[in-house]
Amino acid sequence: MKNLIQRTVFVLSAIVTFSCGKTTTISSNLELTGTWKLESIVQESDTIKKPNPSKGAMDIVLNFKEKGELEGTTSTNFLTGFYETAQQNTIQIGGGGTERAETPWGNLFINALPNVNLYDLKTNQLVLYYENNNQMIFSRMQ
């Protein structure tokens, strides 16, 4: 009986998964997995470079973990959340953290992150696209 229930659940799960007509969602991307540091932001063709570190400010870092988990630091705070990739380099990022005493650089990042919808991986470089082809450009940390 237990075996029959397990098989039924498996078959129903497979039917729901493959009959929805949506793109297949991947919970994580092994090439994306790792730690990335924000180097610049491109908004409306203007490139904003990472400022020199101010006293007490951290680098802005995203750590894409396996199973879709996301951790990071803003200029003064920490964040946790999730990410989900799908076909054609689409990505969805969600989560949150505190926004106390953010720097202008940190605020640019925090305001852009929820709007990210595409990504591009190059050798040791990650570009996250948001709002009309604006970009956040990251370098891979070793």
The model's pTM is 0.75
Which domains are seen in the chain, by residue range?
Answer: 23-140 (2.40.128.270)
| Token pair recorded at residue 51 | 């400022």
Give ∠ CA 53-134-100 in degrees, rounded to 5: 40
Residues of the chain with pLDDT under 70: 1-30, 53-56
**Strand partners of residue 91:** 85
The pLDDT score that the predictor gives to residue 44 is: 85
116-140 pLDDT, tens digit per residue, is: 999 999 889 999 999 989 999 999 9
The pLDDT score that the predictor gives to residue 57 is: 72
The pLDDT score that the predictor gives to residue 14 is: 36
The pLDDT score that the predictor gives to residue 30 is: 61
What does the alpha-carbon distance between residue 66 and residue 34 come to, in Å, rounded to a whole number? 9
The pLDDT score that the predictor gives to residue 11 is: 36
What does the alpha-carbon distance between residue 113 and residue 92 come to, in Å, rounded to a whole number? 10
- 3 state SS of 126: strand
Alpha helices in the chain, H assignment, sequence order: 2-19, 104-112
The pLDDT score that the predictor gives to residue 10 is: 41
Residues 126, 118 contacting (CB under 8 angstroms)? no
The pLDDT score that the predictor gives to residue 23 is: 36
The pLDDT score that the predictor gives to residue 56 is: 62
